[in-house]
Chains A and B, each alone.
Chain A
Amino acid sequence: SQQGEEDPQALSIQEGENATMNCSYKTSINNLQWYRQNSGRGLVHLILIRSNEREKHSGRLRVTLDTSKKSSSLLITASRAADTASYFCAEQMEYGNKLVFGAGTILRVKS
C-alpha cells in the first residue's frame, strides 16, 4: 500500500485544549495536504505545505513538515466543539500526479 500512517488513530480533548495529529508518509513529495471530514460529509481542504517549507499557519492551524523524517504534524490550537471531525493527511507525490491519503485521526472535542 502507498498509504501513509497517522497517529493517533483517535484523540479526545476538552474544549480550549490544543490537538496535535501526526502523519508519516512513504514517498518523496511535492507537497503534503491536510483535510477535515465531518461525519457523513465530503472532505474539506485545510492547508497545504510544500516540500521546501517547514512550517505554515492558517488561523488556528499550524502545520510542520520534516522531509528528512518523512513526517508532518497538524496542530489545532484552542480547540472548539465544532472541530470534532476526522482529519486526514495526503501526500502529493513529487513525481506523478497521485494524491494519496492516510487512514486519518478521529478528533473529539468535548464541551
Chain B
Amino acid sequence: NAGVTQTPKFQVLKTGQSMTLQCAQDMNHEYMSWYRQDPGMGLRLIHYSVGAGITDQGEVPNGYNVSRSTTEDFPLRLLSAAPSQTSVYFCASTADRGFGYTFGSGTRLTVV
C-alpha cells in the first residue's frame, strides 16, 4: 500500500545508546518531516526536508540528526538517547507545502 512506513513500531533503549528510526515513503513526495508527540503538547517538529540533500531544523532538533540521500527515505538518528527523548515519533510527507501531509503510524520509543 502506498504511504509512509515507519520502523520499528516499538523500541526500548538504554540511556546513552544510539539508534536510527526509519521512515520511507513511496509517493515521490519532496517534503518530509519528523515530529515527536508528548502528552498534552501536541506534535513538535524535530527536523524537516524539502528534497534530497536538503534538511533543516525544527523546534526541537537537539539530540537528533537527519539526512536525506534519496527522495524516499528520511531516517532520524538519536545520537545518545536520554530519558527526555521518550516519546512517540511520527514521520510525515507531502508533495508540496500547499498540500496536506500523510503520516506514518509512529514509533513508540522508551529510554530507560
Contacts and interface: CB of A to CB of B under 8 A. Distances in A.
Interface of A: 1-3, 30-31, 33, 35, 41-46, 48, 50, 88, 90, 92, 97-104
A60 to B, nearest CB: 18
Contacts of B100: 33, 35, 45-46, 48
A101 B58 CA distance: 12
Interface string B79-112: 0000000000010100001111111111000000
Contact of B33 (A2, A3, A30, A99): A99
B6 to A, nearest CB: 8
29 contacts: A2-B59, A3-B59, A30-B97, A31-B97, A31-B98, A33-B100, A33-B101, A41-B106, A42-B4, A42-B90, A42-B104, A42-B105, A43-B92, A43-B101, A45-B101, A45-B103, A48-B98, A50-B98, A88-B42, A90-B43, A97-B31, A97-B56, A97-B97, A98-B45, A99-B48, A100-B45, A101-B42, A102-B42, A103-B42
A46 B4 CA distance: 17
B13 to A, nearest CB: 20
Nearest to B42: A103
A48 B105 CA distance: 21
